[in-house]
Amino acid sequence: MIRRMISTLSLCVIASSAIAEPDAGALYQEHCAECHGPSRLGGIGPALIPQTLRRMYGPKMQDVIANGRVATQMIGYSDVLDSDDIIALEAYLKTPLAEVPNWGPDDINASRVMNDDYTAVAAPVWASDPMNITLVVETGDHHVSVLDGDTFEVLDRFATPFAVHGGPKFSPDGRYVFIMSRDGWVQKYDIWALQEVGQVRAGVNSRNIAMSSDGKHLAVANYLPMTLTILSTADLTVETVTDVAGSDGTPSRVSAVYQAPQRESFILALKDTPEIWEIATKPEVLFERRRIMLTEPLDDFFFSPDYRYLIGAARASEQGVVIDLEQGSVAASLPLAGMPHLGSGISWPRDGGRVLATPHLSEGMISVIDMATWSLVKTIKTDGPGFFMRSHENTPYVWADVFFGPNRDKIHVIDKQTLEIVKTLDPAPGKTVAHVEFTKDGKHALVSLWEDDGAVIIYDAATLEEVKRLPMRKPSGKYNVWNKISFSDGTSH
Ligand code: DHE
């Protein structure tokens, strides 16, 4: 209230010199800095930098400044800022920071907040099957729901950092989960105890996280600064922060980091330099780096189940490449136009071999590739470009959403053997429906009704009939403990 009064007074001062253009920097310091930090790097509110706010550009950002954001502490400023001020502020927030902050080990460790009330437990405080827990990330109000995969009862619903992105990563025993926000916060949550363990800010703008196969290390891929942070999973302290640059010295953002379990390493996709990095997590060579040289940067990866091969594509390219991780060289190239989203690709056995399938972000199609010959088996035409695909060992079907365009309310169910669409579901006409996860046994498929007053829609995976709808706030990804820790055939990395 006091803040509001001060804001109103300061606005009067600004209004009295109305001939001048609004001073967006001053407006920011006056109205926004208290929550979002004096350098726009975040505080109790998220960082306000273009890298994290891309999805709020245009009228949406002005709307949030004017009217606030539901289910958050962001209040509306339409009574104290006029439209010129709001337009000026929007332009200011869309401007990249003049200086990239140096977010090193000391800053990261200093940001660490452990939950004083957390008490470890010897066994789960609930009676559900620990391997059939499914987490639902609800981006509508920045929460995660913990679902019992048999009864679909919500065991807990906890707050996450703002704007979680990418899959949460489970410890190998499925007990802990690590969740990352685009602002670089990493949250550790104990599923057995249903309590947060702590949080740390591992980067300023981060892409995703990966867990080492022994569960000891958590790697965080950062765009800002251009680093890879590795945290101890035990207590979220920093183990190492590596500046990322190509062999010619060109600094590079890290597009993504992945776990390669059989290789006991992390694999890094680098955005700005034609290299792939492999970072060892074997104790005897811990964090040793290997560079695999490429001809152009690749920023989206799929892996063969044995992690021998990496399939990558540059977003703007017409080709995918297969890298043999053992040899460190290109094994084949693939015809993959239309922005394949390989990170959402999945593979399954077919005709005595194995195929991989990937949706495309700019065309309504799914490419199916033979993983022995690396040739295109089929292009499945869909009702629009899709984002996510999922299947399970125990189902004959692949589920693929249509994320973009007028048919974003549709989800295709595809026969894994015939590669034909057998059914197109339309559970909420006109609303976005996306991302599928299965229960541990593959008998149920959980689909997100990706709206603020959305739901998780549970289907019988055999009859394709709806079983139940659980109300959720813009649910995005869903993650089943068993499917993830066992690297189930139908789940993307
Ligand atoms: Fe994602 C996973 C990259 C935009 C929701 N996304 C991933 C992963 C990468 C990636 C590399 C795999 C990381 C992992 O899970 O460890 N995403 C990108 C992009 O480059 C892109 C196109 C642009 C960007 O802004 O970063 C992008 N992603 C989006 C969205 O707009 C989505 C739909 C909404 C959002 O939350 O921002 C989105 N991405 C997701 C989700 C996953 C994901 C839900 C996890 C999928 C899974 O099932 O594992």
pLDDT of residue 5: 35
Q: How many domains are contained in the chain?
A: 1
- Give the residue numbers spanning the domain of 80: 2-31+50-94
Give backbone dihedrals phi and psi of 131, rounded to 5 degrees, phi first.
-85, -10
Do 483 and 167 touch, CB atoms closer than 8 A? no
**pLDDT-wise least confident of 24-38, 431-445, 464-478:** 24-38
Q: Which residue owns the Cα nearest ligand 1 atom 2? A: 166
Please indicate whether residue 52, judged by its CB atom, sits closer than 6 Å to ligand 1: no
- Among 40-44, 75-79, 95-99, 198-202, which is the least confidently predicted range? 40-44
Check pocket membership of 343 for ligand 1, CB cut-off 6 A: yes
Whole-number Å distance between alpha carbons of 61 and 69: 10
pLDDT of 19 strictly over 80 = no
**More confidently predicted of 293 and 101:** 293
110, 227, 454 from 115: Cα distances, Å? 15, 27, 30
**Which atom of ligand 1 is nearest the CA belonging to 403?**
33
Residue 81 lies in a domain: yes
- pLDDT for the residue 59: 60
Query: Is 475 near ligand 1, meaning CB less than 6 Å away?
Result: no
Cβ burial of 241 (10 Å; 0-12, 13-18, 19+) is buried
- Whether residue 428 is contained in a domain is answered as no
Q: Calculate the average pLDDT of the chain.
A: 91
- Residue 15 is predicted with a pLDDT of 43
Contact 92, 81 (CB under 8 A): no
Lowest mean pLDDT segment, chosen from 86-90, 98-102, 189-193: 98-102
Cβ(170)–Cβ(485) below 8 Å: yes
How far is Cα of residue 41 from the mean position of the Cα atoms in its chain?
Answer: 20
Q: What is the reported pLDDT for 71?
A: 61
CA dihedral for 214, 217, 220, 225, sign (positive or negative): negative
Residue 214 in domain: no
What is the structure's pLDDT at 163?
Answer: 87
pLDDT at 330 over 70: yes
pLDDT (tens digit per residue) in 344-377:
999 999 999 999 999 998 899 999 999 999 999 9
The Å distance, Cα 166 to ligand 1 centre, comes to: 5
pLDDT at position 60 is 84
Answer yes or no: is 357 within a domain: no
Q: Which helix (H) or strand (E) holds 108?
A: helix 105-111
CA–CA dist 329, 326 (Å, integer): 8
The model's pTM is 0.90
Q: Determine the 3-state secondary structure of 348 from DSSP.
A: strand
Residues 451-467 have a mean pLDDT of: 97
Q: How far is ligand 1, taken at its centre, from the CA of residue 256, in Å?
A: 10
Q: How far, in Å, is the centroid of ligand 1 from the Cα of 476?
A: 10
| Best probe residue, ligand 1, of 165, 259, 432 (max atoms within 8 Å of C-beta) | 165
Residue 4 predicted with pLDDT over 50 = no
Question: Which of the two residues, 208 and 17, has the higher pLDDT score?
Answer: 208
The dihedrals phi and psi of 475, each to the nearest 5 degrees, come to -70, 135
Looking at the predicted structure, is the pLDDT value of residue 56 above 50? yes
Residue 58 belongs to some domain of the structure? yes
> Do 47 and 36 contact (CB within 8 A), yes or no?
yes
- Ligand 1 atom at shortest distance from the alpha carbon of 209: 16
Inside any domain, residue 164: no
- Distance separating alpha carbons of residues 181 and 451, to the nearest angstrom: 19
Burial letters 84-123, b for 16+ CB under 10 A, else e = ebbbbbbebbbeebeeeeebeeebbeebbeeeeeeeeeee
Q: What average pLDDT does the segment 145-168 reach?
A: 96
Whether residue 332 lies inside any domain: the answer is no
**How confident is the model over 374-409, as pLDDT tens digits?**
999 999 999 999 999 999 999 999 999 999 999 999
Residue 205 domain-assigned (yes or no): no
Q: What are phi and psi of 340, to 5 degrees?
A: -60, 145
